[in-house]
Structure 1
Amino acid sequence: MAHCNVCRCCLAQGLHKDLNSSYLWLDKTEIYADMMLECFSIVLSPSAHISSGICDTCVSTLRASLAFKRMVLQSEQELITRAQDLDIKPKVKVELTENSGGDDSDDYFLADAGNGDVPKITIKKKKTRTLIISPECNSQPKVNLMWTAHMNLDKRKHKDNLRTILQYSNVLPFKNKSLLGYMCGYCDATYPDPVDLRAHTEADHEEERLNFKSNFDMTEYNVQVDISDLTCTLCNEKMENLNVLKDHLVKIHKKIIYNDIKDHIIQFRLKKGDVYDCIMCSATYETFKMLKQHMNVHYGNYTCSKCDSAFATKRSLNAHRSTHQEGSFKCEHCEKVFASRAKKQYHEKTKHLGARNISNCPFCNEPFRSYYQRNQHLVKVHNSEAQYKCNVCNKAYILKSLLMYHIKKNHLMERNAQCTECGYRFFSKKALKAHMVKHTGERNYQCEVCQKSYARKYTLREHMRIHNNDRRFKCAICSMSFVQKCSLKSHLLSNHGISMAASDITTTEPEKELPLNDASKDS
């Protein structure tokens, strides 16, 4: 089998999928070599010395290209069928372009579509595009691909709406928000302050303003715009939001805005800081990613038929649907089995195919496998602050999930897991499971030195410090050191008259990593 460490299409290094193997994607079987043949008529030379891999980026491009070709052919057939049904006879006829070698066009089937009964179709020259692929070998014939550019009506309306808004208002399009700030919609420049982003866009991209994402498929993706200080540039009147602006342009300035299509222009009011407010309701979030996910509530263009979750784009809905595909899904690279296809695919990408959905450190470009590792690195190496702070007790956390864990456990006092033996309630199932050893008497963790057994792994780990003479708890008054925290606590009380809570006693050994705080132990 050929090696797959180099992508055959873009030469990217890594562990990639095989072009000639079959894969499942949204319940459809894909063989990428066959897809390339169908889409581009490309046949790659088989060789044991040449990689047969294809990276995820090229797979996505190939899917989109093939889907576009199929859509064009389907639209062509649909238009011909409509013309037949309505008995419309437009002045249309097919003309083959003249080629020096007498090559046949791939679009020649249009001439025979109706066997004489179909109205003749004339394709104007300016509406026809020709793609010529010339291989290096002159003996191979040229391949001429001709197709008519049929623009989907809804897509044209989307683009017209976006162009009208850009032309007659001061909205600021942007790509996304990274750790370094907001990304310019026209280039890769990034600014922490949206005021600086606006100044950059107006200074460097004014001429290309109306060309923003002109080839963008707005049924698959969203356009994000900042509407801070939103103003109609025709009359300089201030606007509250995009909906008000659209009504204003139609009623006052007689501009055309299509309201019979789904809305994919997502509006934000950007500001500098760590708090992100929804402009359509009172919701507030501590990450821009969470705010974007929330915006699906206001832009529910597509709804999941199983759980009624709403999504702004068809692409997001399709990704969500995979979470409902339950069953028994075995990893193709190891023996692990997963309850859903989405979990299995995530496992394969991250554990076996080298994929990561965590961005590198913005300061030193170091890669990470988890958000926790990256944020921990930012705090320890680059002196960044733990940005998620509790508004009750001022404790700070490097992950929002840890902050929410802390709030629910310590301030809301949630206790949803109950012991069936004694009725005692716990915050998590993990804590309940640890508690159950009191009733079962199980002692599965045995010391290899003295053969003592313990019910919990944590207790065994604490016990092992005795054998290693690990005296990490040191008295700050007399410098005596102890193996266990309880011994230091007893020493402080009996010898120095000091009573301290166990949680206030810290180790003298430097921590190797930031603690998980409340998430590390349950009670």
Structure 2
Amino acid sequence: MAVTITKNKKGPIIDPALCRCCRSIKKCRLLSTEYEWMGNKEVYSDMLMDCFGLLLSHLDGDNKDTCICATCVCRLREACAFRQQVLQSEEVFMKAKLDGNRDDNVPQFMVELKVEPIEEIETDIQMDNVTDIIENQEEKPTLDINVKMNKSTIKVPRRRSVRTKHVTSDPMKSEVNKIRRKKVRMDDLLDTEIQEKKSISRKAKKSIIDHEQMAYANTVTIVHNSYVCPFHNKVSNYYCYYCKDQFTNPIELREHTMSHDPKTLFESMMDNRKIPKIDITRIDCRLCQEKIDNLETLKQHLTIIHGKELHPIENEFLKFRLTLDNLTCTECKSTFPYFDLLKKHMVEHFGTFICDMCGACFLEQTSLRTHIKSHNKIEACFPCEICGKNLKSKYSRYLHVATVHEKKPTVNCYKCEDSFLSYALRNRHLIEVHGDKRTFPCKLCDKVYNRRKTLMEHNRRIHLKVYRHQCDLCDQRFYLPSRLKEHMATHTGERNFRCEFCDKSYPRLQSLQEHLRSHSNERRYKCDICNSTFTQNGSLKSHLKSHHQGYEVESSFN
């Protein structure tokens, strides 16, 4: 299996690779490489060392042997966050402890005692009695105490303000009160830190909103005053941003978009939650005859020459240069055979929303939320009781049973009472019986279809060459997964398609179908030179080699 290394502004991604932490094989990141997450830099090997004291070996070896998956990255971040939380709590505790010790060193009360010594009285006894009296007194604004013992008087001078602390005789209650006071101090410190973090979070959120508003304003100004072409896309087809007309050729898309006025339509149809896709093949100014081929030059031209207000930011929208053949990335000049691959590649440059569970990256937060739901989604399963096939819903199972097993027509004609087994048959009925012109011609060749879906599949298969299913053992690509499965039999030697009339078996369904014609005597292949007919294309080729050397079959049935 080929290992691919993709690189975005967050860091390189290895797919597939072995995770050093859980030994799972999936899309991974490198342990010793610096990545960016939530505005912070992180190196996972350093995080393992700081958090657990683990020093992993051979981190300077092959990339695919020094990896960590997104699930383990998420757990590592949680562990580091917990460690940081414990350290912060300990720091707050120690600070509160030091403050508490300072408070404990302050005398419980401040009273000045003036003693007149008398010869007959023992000073120690007198002082003990005075102390007992003072400790049992409530806090009063003034204090005047006269103690008479053995004809001697100890005079305590008056003070304007004497503060005393009530001393509890129970030592357990005293300790509890100390702990409560420390907890209050810790809570106050933590509340202060939380408020500071909330303030920082609000500022960061406000800056994100401000950036989105500036990007929105810049996009509207650029589209209104230039010939850039906004568009939508679906399944490698282009759609007009304003009227949703479908195009395969980007040249026709640009010509069609010129018929709309962006100043009256674009702002009302723009979705703030999605980053718009804009073709910048032509960027000329609409306000004058200036020819411009660079977006930054256009911004300077609009601000200096025409006085338009543009905010000092970049990457307001996704920029493309649409062509009929291979498409080139405007950021790194990589080429792609069809638009879906290029659009997926753009995430590496502008994707800021990353799934912590699998490492997938997205351009919009809404796309990330939808993706996260798919991790917890339990796929519904409704098996057919006849053949065991799993369907996604009860209605899908009903249609499957009705059309496949019961041969019951479920597609009704809206012009008469006839019903059909499929939409294709109904469309043919509408054309032949009711005279509807349900034709969808291909703009790149002379093919005509009666269904839009069939036309789209034709464009993707023939003109756009959208072959997503690649063989792991060779470089061949296929449009359908069933074709890839048949192709794999050429590597494994399996012959799963067996003839019901004889013992012959074939690795491909198409080969078996051609063989079955030999039993039905259907001669579909004709020699253009001698008009001989054959049941199989291989027989025609053998005939040309043996009887008409130098000639080849011009067309074959696939």
Normalised to the residue count of structure 2, the TM-score between the two structures is 0.39
Write 1 or 2 for the structure with the bigger share of helix. 2
